[in-house]
A = this chain, B = another copy of it.
Amino acid sequence: MSAKHNDVVKLSEILEKFRDNFPVSSEKWEEYTSRFHRVQVPAKTILLREGEISRKAYLIEKGCIRVWFDNKGEEVTFQFFFENSTVSSIESFKKGTPSLFTLETTEPCTLWWIDKKDVDNLLDEVSEIPSMRNQILNILFERTLHYMQHFLSFVRDTPQERYENLLHNQPYIIQRVPQHYIASYLGISRVHLSRIKNKMARGK
């Protein structure tokens, strides 16, 4: 990875944002946050390649990460992540299996990464605290719901409706990400997405 390391930077505001969620001593907080490493990478940097085993999780301070997989020779975009999100190839990170996805930046990014073993330790410690247990469950649960909802929109809605929903609910995705990535994210060809936009531009 062609990246500038800069781990001595003062703990960023981005980590401070989570301070309230951790009912632990300053010492513990220091210890936890010191496991995160700040790194800056250019656009189109591959953080993890499909088939590799994920050993890092990322927190995005600035930028965008695209998660995609190869389907019969063409890239299919599965998800986008932006500022304040944590990203990993979740199944590979948790189970140590080869990743189904590639993680790639679409913009120059400022990221904080943390090693799997530090995450594991941290989880063990922190899940002794009931309120933290619930938070962990909630986060996982919300991600489950997100997949469910996303899937639902594929079964329930037409491609045009999916595009309209995206435009309405996450316009920043459309603004920041090249359109052909969005096409495969919506499950259609670039040509068809162009048609849809054209159709919508004239009164539907």
Binding site for B on A (CB under 8 A): 69, 71, 76, 78, 90-91, 94, 100, 124, 127, 130, 133, 136-137, 140-141, 143-145, 147-148, 150-152, 154-156, 187
Q: How far is the CA of A69 from the CA of B149 in the complex (A)?
A: 13
Chain B: CB-nearest residue to A187: B155
* A-B CB proximity, top 10 nearest: A151-B151, A147-B147, A144-B144, A71-B156, A140-B140, A147-B148, A154-B154, A91-B145, A155-B187, A76-B155
A-side interface mostly: helix
* A151→B145 contact, CB < 8 A: no
* 22 A/B residue pairs, CB under 8 Å, sorted by A: A69-B152, A71-B156, A76-B156, A78-B152, A78-B155, A90-B144, A91-B145, A91-B148, A124-B130, A127-B130, A127-B133, A133-B133, A137-B137, A137-B140, A140-B144, A143-B144, A147-B148, A150-B151, A151-B154, A154-B155, A154-B187, A155-B187
